[in-house]
């Protein structure tokens, strides 16, 4: 039996993301996608995509070059932006299940016409970056009980880790925020209309680095995503018979 192939974007701590997703089924294979490998064409072999965390999305992508003064130039990788933008264009043309994490949420929101807060503390919110000890912060989140994330987790509230200094601001067309932190930072985004569409979920926290791997904000999300990929893969194979 051939495995379902999940494309995963290359970036910082890639191995943690790959290990986390792979832990939910032996029936999937991870394909590492990145400009350093010059392997954009491999997306054609993928049944789903995971957009991982990492560098800041350059503000030119959402038309706010005036935000550069709030950014750290070393945190940009425009080649990565370009490569992953092309992946999203492919996934829009040939709809695939998508899971976005941290930077993944931010890039995909921008792809759909949204904008970002370039530096959360400067915008008058709590610090969401790692603590002075170098470890992730933790904070609560509140879910929209009418959203997909609530149906996946079964929880109206929860606690997640936090490792970011940028966040979604205006939400992209066709998308909606489905979880917020106490200070109003967007913690999850999904599609407004999901019926008949592949799995699509963007989260601002890092499930692959959560201490409690049994948390519904870790396990339930991983299981739901992988199950949808395998199911979609079986459906495609049956349609080709």
Which positions are annotated as active-site residues?
A: 102, 206, 208
Residue 148: which region, alpha, beta or left (left: phi > 0; alpha: psi -120 to 50)?
A: alpha
Find the Cα–Cα–Cα–Cα dihedral 197, 203, 208, 214, rounded to 10°: -80
- From 13, 116, 133, 9, select the one nearest 71 (Cα to Cα): 116
Q: Which helix (H) or strand (E) holds 224?
A: helix 221-240
- From 70, 171, 67, 181, select the one nearest 122 (Cα to Cα): 70
**Tokens standing for residue 183:** 């200070």
**Tokens standing for residue 182:** 């106490």
């Amino acid at each position: 039996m051939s495995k379902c192939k999940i494309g995963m974007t290359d970036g910082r701590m890639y191995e943690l993301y790959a290990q986390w997703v792979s832990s939910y089924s032996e029936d999937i294979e991870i394909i590492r996608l990145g400009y350093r490998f010059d392997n954009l064409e491999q997306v054609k072999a993928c049944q789903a995509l995971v957009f991982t965390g990492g560098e800041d999305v350059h503000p030119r992508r959402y038309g706010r070059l005036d935000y550069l003064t709030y950014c750290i130039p070393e945190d940009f990788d425009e080649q990565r932006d370009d490569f992953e933008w092309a992946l999203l264009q492919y996934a829009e043309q040939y709809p695939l299940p998508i899971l976005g994490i941290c930077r993944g949420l931010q890039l995909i929101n921008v792809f759909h016409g949204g904008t970002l807060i370039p530096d959360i503390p400067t915008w008058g919110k709590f610090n969401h970056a790692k603590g002075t000890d170098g470890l992730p912060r933790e904070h609560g989140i509140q879910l929209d009980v009418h959203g997909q994330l609530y149906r996946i987790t079964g929880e109206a509230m929860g606690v997640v880790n936090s490792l970011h200094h940028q966040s979604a601001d205006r939400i992209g067309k066709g998308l909606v925020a489905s979880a917020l932190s106490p200070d109003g930072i967007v913690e999850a985004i999904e599609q407004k209309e999901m019926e008949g569409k592949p799995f699509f979920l963007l989260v601002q926290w890092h499930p692959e680095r959560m201490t409690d791997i049994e948390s519904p904000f870790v396990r339930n999300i991983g299981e739901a995503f992988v199950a949808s990929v395998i199911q979609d893969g079986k459906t495609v194979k049956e349609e080709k018979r």
